[in-house]
Amino acid sequence: MKKPAKQTRGQSLIEFALVFPMLLILMVGIMEFSRAWMTKNILTGAARETARWYVSDNTAGAMTTAIARGRTVLDSANLTTAPDPVITDFGASKLVEASATYNFTVIVAGFVPGLNNTSFQLSSTTTMRREW
């Protein structure tokens, strides 16, 4: 038996209206997580570049911060690196530890009530053996 058409009219529209906000929140969450993951990878590269520069050249000093900032596409006001990497003795060799931190701001936070100016700190540390 066939049901009358007037009883099912608009059913798809109502189902879409109920599901769409959840799909939108899921999509925006995936995008924000992707941005945070990309930022973490950039930060890891900056720390690695800083450590690599310092272990291969003994005149690096304050240049490490400039290199880490120059190699990234992040906002340099939120990016900090250790001015001189930490050098520790480890047996016959020395280890250089460089770190970089970044205050990651969630873009969507301004659109969600109660989440104004939400940011969290991402950090990365790289350790390499000194070559000289």
* Residue 8 is assigned to a structural domain of this protein: no
* Residue 2 is assigned to a structural domain of this protein: no
Q: Which amino acid is at 99?
A: S
pLDDT of residue 113: 66
* Residue 27 is assigned to a structural domain of this protein: yes
Distance CA 22, CA 73 (A): 32
pLDDT band at 127 (very low <50, low <70, confident <90, very high): confident
Question: Tens digits of per-residue pLDDT, 21-32?
Answer: 999 988 988 998
* Residue 116 is assigned to a structural domain of this protein: yes
- Domain assignment of residue 111, given as a range: 13-129
Question: Tens digits of per-residue pLDDT, 84-118?
Answer: 666 666 666 778 787 888 888 888 766 666 666 67
Task: Provide the number of structural domains found in the chain.
Answer: 1
* Residue 23 is assigned to a structural domain of this protein: yes
* Residue 120 is assigned to a structural domain of this protein: yes
- Name the more confident of 68 and 20: 20
Distance CA 49, CA 45 (A): 6
% of the chain exceeding 70 in pLDDT: 58
Question: Best-predicted range by mean pLDDT among 29-33, 46-50, 65-69, 128-132?
Answer: 29-33
Q: Average of pLDDT values for 124-128?
A: 85
2 DSSP assignment: P
* Residue 7 is assigned to a structural domain of this protein: no
pLDDT of residue 52: 80
pLDDT of residue 108: 77
**Mean pLDDT over the full length of the chain:** 75
* Residue 5 is assigned to a structural domain of this protein: no
Question: Tens digits of per-residue pLDDT, 31-62?
Answer: 989 988 988 888 888 788 777 877 776 555 44
Which residue's entry shows tokens 């990878």?
41
